[in-house]
């Protein structure tokens, strides 16, 4: 019984983890059709932003939830202005440019922080559940992810801001004809995507050993989740993260973490063979 609860927590955590690492990418890729190969590096920068802020005596929650998204969001705006905005609509070119960008950011972080692993301790201690010890920080991640998703859904569906953003993504010309500047909207959306990514990096920083090359560990999973999710930003990420989280954790518990990772990849391949447009290309069509 205790074990079942522990496994359930791990599965939910694993789903939340996938949502958290891919939600920023979903905004940038799903809404703007920009393949950001520097997504992992944005997370890495978010992690460093949080760690440096904590090192300067800032409260760890503020560091993770405010400083990290702000810093990475601003870096995102700079990058959007300098590089990305020249490449909208050119899928392959953005890929090449952001790949170069990811190499640059790794080098940049290495120059500043050195090529060593750093980290901070999680602010929440573990607690016991029957005869098991559970990582309390996992609940924090689950909670934050739920709040992020709810907030995104609310903003996109119920606010004028969300409406304008969605409208611009669907038809930039029409939005422009109605008096909205698509350039501004793209910039704001890229900022939002980068900030979400930075926050994810900040929140995960206490759980990992962070180094300049850490971004590489997230990028593949984030892309798999977003692409398998399909066109809808929120429904897509939620459905694919749930599927992959469930599959990978089931196999991890049944066999080993290696088998879990393999199962995730196999599931993604099969899924994309059957549903090339992603889950939301067939189900939940037209949802957010």
Partner 1 sequence: MRIQRRNFLKGTAALAAGSVAMPALIGRSLAADKIKLGSILDTSGIFDAYGKPMDMAMQLAVSEINKGGGLLGREIETISYDTQSDMALYTQYGQQLARRDKVDVVHGGILSASREAIRPTLRKANTLYFYNVLYEGGVCDRNIAITGVTPAQQVEVLVPAAIKKWGPKIYILAADYNYGQITARWMQKYAQEAGGEAIAVDFFPLDVSDFGSTIAKIQTASPDIVVSALVGGAHLSFYRQWAAAGMNTKIPMASSTLAIGNEHKVLTPEEGNGIMVAFNYSPEIASPANKAFLEAWGGMYGDTSAIHEIAVSNYQGVHLWAEAVRRAGSIDRMAVIEAIEDGLSIDGPGGKVTMDAKTHHAVLDVHLMEINGQKLDVVERFEQRQPIDTQAVCDLSANPDDTTQYEIKI
Is residue 126 a contact point for partner 1 (CB under 8 A)?
A: yes
Interacting residues with partner 1 between 128 and 167 (CB under 8 A) = 128, 131-138
Interacting residues with partner 1 between 30 and 69 (CB under 8 A) = none
Q: Rounded CA gap, 247 and 264, in Å?
A: 6
Region of 4-12, 70-78, 146-154, 194-202 interacting with partner 1 (CB under 8 A) = 4-12
Dihedral sign for Cα 172, 173, 175, 180, please.
positive
Is residue 216 a contact point for partner 1 (CB under 8 A)?
A: yes
Contact 224, 263 (CB under 8 A): no
Region of 6-14, 27-35, 263-271, 280-288 interacting with partner 1 (CB under 8 A) = 6-14
Q: Sketch the per residue contact string, 173 through 192, with partner 1: x for CB under 8 A, - otherwise.
A: --------------------
From candidates 113, 183, 187, 261, binder to partner 1 by CB under 8 A: 261
Q: Which of 216, 227, 226 is nearest to 38 (CA)?
A: 216
Q: Rounded CA gap, 201 and 195, in Å?
A: 10
From candidates 66, 70, 124, 272, binder to partner 1 by CB under 8 A: 124
Q: How many residues bind partner 1 (CB under 8 A)?
A: 45
| CB closer to partner 1 out of 106 and 148 | 106
From candidates 127, 143, 270, 277, binder to partner 1 by CB under 8 A: 127
Contact 228, 9 (CB under 8 A): no
CB of 14 to partner 1, least distance (A): 7
Is residue 214 a contact point for partner 1 (CB under 8 A)?
A: yes
| CB closer to partner 1 out of 146 and 258 | 258
Binding site for partner 1 (CB under 8 A): 3, 6-7, 10, 13-14, 17, 115-119, 121-122, 124-128, 131-138, 206-211, 213-214, 216-217, 249, 252-253, 256-258, 260-261
């Amino acid at each position: 019984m205790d074990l079942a609860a522990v496994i359930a927590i791990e599965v939910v955590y694993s789903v939340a983890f996938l949502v958290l690492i891919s939600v920023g990418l979903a905004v940038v890729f799903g809404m703007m059709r920009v393949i950001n190969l520097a997504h992992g590096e944005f997370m890495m920068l978010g992690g460093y932003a949080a760690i440096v802020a904590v090192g300067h005596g800032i409260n760890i929650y503020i560091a993770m939830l405010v400083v990290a998204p702000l810093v990475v969001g601003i870096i995102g705006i700079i990058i959007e202005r300098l590089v990305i905005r020249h490449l909208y609509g050119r899928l392959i070119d953005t890929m090449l440019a952001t790949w170069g960008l990811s190499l640059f950011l790794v080098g940049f972080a290495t120059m500043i922080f050195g090529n060593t692993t750093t980290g901070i301790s999680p602010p929440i201690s573990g607690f016991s559940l029957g005869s098991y010890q559970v990582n309390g920080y996992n609940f924090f991640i689950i909670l934050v992810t739920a709040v992020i998703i709810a907030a995104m859904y609310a903003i996109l569906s119920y606010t004028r801001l969300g409406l304008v953003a969605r409208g611009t993504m669907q038809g930039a010309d029409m939005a422009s004809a109605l008096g909205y500047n698509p350039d501004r909207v793209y910039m704001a959306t890229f900022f939002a995507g980068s900030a979400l990514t930075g926050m994810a990096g900040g929140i995960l920083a206490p759980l990992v050993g962070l180094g300049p090359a850490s971004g590489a560990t997230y990028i593949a999973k984030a892309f798999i989740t977003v692409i398998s999710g399909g066109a809808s930003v929120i429904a897509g990420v939620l459905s694919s993260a749930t599927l992959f989280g469930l599959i990978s954790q089931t196999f991890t518990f049944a066999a080993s973490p290696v088998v879990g990772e393999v199962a995730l990849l196999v599931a993604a391949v099969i899924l994309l063979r059957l549903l090339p447009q992603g889950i939301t290309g067939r189900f939940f069509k037209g949802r957010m």
